[in-house]
Amino acid sequence: MTEKTKHQNWDWLKTHEEGQFFERKSCYDRTGGRLKLRRVKEVAKDVVETLSAMANADGGTLALGIEDNGTPTGVDYPEDRLQVIFEAPKRLVKPPLKARYQWVELDGFKILVFEVDWSPDVHQLSDGRYLMRIGDKNMPFPASDIAAIKAGRRKRITESRLILDASIEDMDLEVLNAFRRKIGLSLTDEEIFLRFRLAEKRNGHLVLSLAAILLFAKDPLRWHPACYIDFVKWEGTERKFGAEFNVTKRERIEGPIPVLIEKAFETIRPHIRERQRLVDLFFEERFEYPTFNLRMAGSYNQCCSPQRLCSGRDPHRGLVV
């Protein structure tokens, strides 16, 4: 159990309503009025059913070791039996689930908290079933329908995707404070993210979106491999390779989008030709390429194109100057 986990308030696990993003599961059987520890394979089956259904829908959190009424009863299996539960998301689901788990303590009981993100894959249980989370139920669903829903979701703007392992501590406060000054509103960091729909409150915690990370993270590359600009200058209008290699300057620019825009502009600006024009008896220097268009075409469009955001690949756009 990490130091952060020890000091985090997990009481919401007892009171939060079960639904689309949250489920509680018990390790005990109360049939006949007696409290009896369930077989670990049954518990592992419950875990993978819920996690696969959530991954096929919108992601979510599963708290193992809490009764439906919110009473903690704990997870009390020997280490070798616990491995059956830990390995279940990979062993009993195809393709394997990328689920995270951590131990937390509630009222003196050890609780196992699983988290899973929305997955672009359609996950199938080892018994052949496909489940999808609908409200507080894990419902059987045709694989083709789940695939169609996921295909539609992939086509949406991906900035709204929630990133569970990012927090406000990962944000660049200097960039965030600059934005706060620009909008002129006295809002806390959390209020800014919620007001501009850059985050959601989920299970009592603030969960940031990909948009928040691209805009404000200290290191957006941790979550998106293409949040950078590769500035390349070559002689002529066509880039050449091999014996005709004509690149004269190359520089990689990294950071959140507001930083990228300014850094890219300052990098490109010295390479834009200026011309003098006579205006009212005075010579006026102007860039051949308008500065606003330069910022947009040379920076924002490079790192924020839908192709790059969705695939994480560089679309290799160019700006001829």
How far, in Å, are 12, 92, 96, 114 from residue 84 at the CA level?
27, 10, 15, 14
Per-residue pLDDT tens digits for 11-40:
989 998 899 889 999 999 988 778 899 999
- Of 1, 57, 60, the closest CA to residue 25 belongs to 60
So what's the pLDDT on residue 261? Answer: 84
Average pLDDT value for residue range 227-231: 83
Pairwise CA distance, residues 73 & 11, whole Å: 14
Beta strands in the chain (DSSP E): 22-25, 28-29, 36-37, 60-64, 93-94, 100-106, 109-116, 124-125, 131-134, 137-140, 162-163, 199-202, 205-209, 228-234, 247-254, 274-279, 282-287
Tell me: pLDDT of 302 over 80: no
Residues linked to residue 63 through DSSP beta bridges, in sequence order? 24, 113
pLDDT in tens, 42-71: 999 999 999 999 999 988 999 999 999 999
Rounded to an integer, what is the distance from CA 109 to the centroid of its chain? Answer: 31
pTM metric for this prediction = 0.52
What's residue 266's pLDDT?
A: 82
Confidence of residue 263 (pLDDT cuts 50, 70, 90): confident
Average of per-residue pLDDT values in the chain: 82
Q: Report the pLDDT value the prediction gives residue 321, as an integer from 0 to 100.
A: 45
Tokens of 70: 């919110």
Pairing of strands 28-29, 124-125: unpaired
Does 211 have pLDDT greater than 60? Answer: yes
Domains observed in the chain? 11-155 (3.30.950.30), 163-213 (no CATH), 228-311 (no CATH)
